[in-house]
Amino acid sequence: MRPFVVGILRGEGSAPELIGAACRVLNAVAESSGLDFCIKSGGKIGCSSAECTGEYLSDDVVEFCRKIFAAGGAIMAGAAGGRFVYDMRRRFDLYYKLNPLRSYPELRDVCRIKLPAKPLDILLVRENLEDIYQGISVETSCEDGREILHTFVHKEKQVRAVLEVAVAAARERQNALAVISKNSGLPVIHSLWRGCALEVAGASGVNVSFLDIDYAAYKLLHEPERFDVIVAPNCFGDILADLGGVLAGSRGLTFGASYAADGGAVYQTNHGAAHDRAETDTANPVGQIFSLAMMLRQSFGFDSAARLIEDSVRALWRAGWRTADLSEPGCKVAGTRQFAELVAREIQSAGVRQHEACSAPS
């Protein structure tokens, strides 16, 4: 079996510790499953790159990523500041992002909001290449001080492409798609998204609803069980993705990935670099570990390996293990490295149990 190529960008702040934790788990998966991974490391990204090269995404890192994608691999990146993620998406045409928004029964007592009894499993599809974040700003001065003109676009072709991803996902799930916009505030943009959504959904059998971003944020926290697949413009999608941390119990559990039409993909957490937690061994590695599971499933087709990772993390939660951000009375608190090591051991133990079950006489 050929080695599967994984490109690592360690990021900054607490990100290198989280990437290290995910790599420990990946090694355990490889040992347990017999899969062969070729792990390659790239250079600095974000603000640490800008200090050296003047660019948040340097030419060296661009070339590194190109080689990873050309080899059929995927990138797992740590959090980084500045324009890194936006530059990365534009450079490699990573035109949409998937953010799973989930809740976990094991963490019900940790969550600060009341959740439905059935675990949440919502998929957020976010447009990546347009809208406010990818606009152009021009600053001038006027009598009242600084004046900034910010222009951005929403192209029908791109809107349709993202909606096709969302509709396809909805067809494989519960045939329900919520389209997010702002009718009164941005009527022309709303009209574009609405018209394209109705046409793309067409005869697919997918039920399409339309919500303004402010009401959608309220509904996501008040009645999250009403959602299955959500599709949103860039900025609105970013806001809703962060609310997923409230549903899960901690922002440290959030994750997602950005995808190109040619199969290129970058997997990350959905939180920042947490510089205040750097080198303290206190950051929650689960978002990064779950992004690894997502990579194994989505880019390499290893669904069983992905489930093994997810089940191992949840087994630790059931056993009372927590990271500091999820601590509750009576729990056992583990640092970043220890929690990753516990996940790795659980994966290895599961592999042993599976082998023994297969070897037992019938």
User: What CA–CA distance (Å, rounded) separates 230 from 213?
Assistant: 11
User: What CA–CA distance (Å, rounded) separates 344 from 347?
Assistant: 5
Amino acid at 154: H
Residues 6+ apart with CB under 8 A from 329: none
Q: Residue 143 has what pLDDT? A: 84
User: What CA–CA distance (Å, rounded) separates 80 from 279?
Assistant: 16
- Residue 267's Cβ-count burial label (10 Å; 0-12, 13-18, 19+) is buried
Q: Residue 261 has what pLDDT? A: 97
User: What CA–CA distance (Å, rounded) separates 258 from 278?
Assistant: 25
Q: Residue 83 has what pLDDT? A: 97
Residues 6+ apart with CB under 8 A from 257: 97, 98, 265, 266, 267, 268, 291, 294, 295, 298
User: Minimal CA–CA distance to 100: which of 257, 223, 218, 215?
Assistant: 257
187-201 and 156-172 are packed helices; what angle lies between their axes, rounded to 10 degrees?
A: 50
Q: If you ran DSSP here, which 8-state letter would residue 268 be given?
A: E
Please provide the size of the chain in residues.
Answer: 362
Q: If you ran DSSP here, which 8-state letter would residue 117 be given?
A: S
Neighbour order of strands in the sheet with 96-102 = 37-41, 4-9, 74-77, 265-269, 255-259, 96-102, 121-127, 229-232, 176-181, 207-212
Residue 102, classed as helix, strand or coil, is strand
User: What CA–CA distance (Å, rounded) separates 313 from 274?
Assistant: 22
Q: Residue 349 has what pLDDT? A: 92
CB atoms closer than 10 angstroms to residue 130: 19
Residues 6+ apart with CB under 8 A from 338: 281
Q: If you ran DSSP here, which 8-state letter would residue 182 be given?
A: -
Across the strands, what pairs with 7?
A: 40, 75
Helix-then-strand count for the chain, H and E = 11, 14
Q: Residue 112 has what pLDDT? A: 87
What token pair was written down for 271?
């939180």
Question: 231 with 177: CB under 8 angstroms?
Answer: yes
End-to-end Cα separation, the chain, in angstroms: 30
Pick left, alpha or beta for residue 146 (phi over 0 → left; psi -120 to 50 → alpha; otherwise beta): beta
Q: Residue 352 has what pLDDT? A: 62
User: What CA–CA distance (Å, rounded) separates 274 from 13?
Assistant: 6
How confident is the prediction along the chain (362 residues), in pLDDT tens digits per residue? 578 999 999 999 999 999 999 999 999 999 999 999 999 999 999 999 999 999 999 999 999 999 999 999 999 999 999 999 999 999 999 999 999 999 999 999 999 899 999 999 999 999 999 999 999 999 998 888 999 999 999 999 999 999 999 999 999 999 999 999 999 999 999 999 999 999 999 989 899 999 999 999 999 999 999 999 999 999 999 999 999 999 999 999 999 999 999 999 999 999 999 999 999 999 999 999 999 999 999 999 999 999 999 999 999 999 999 999 999 999 999 999 999 999 999 999 986 666 545 555 55
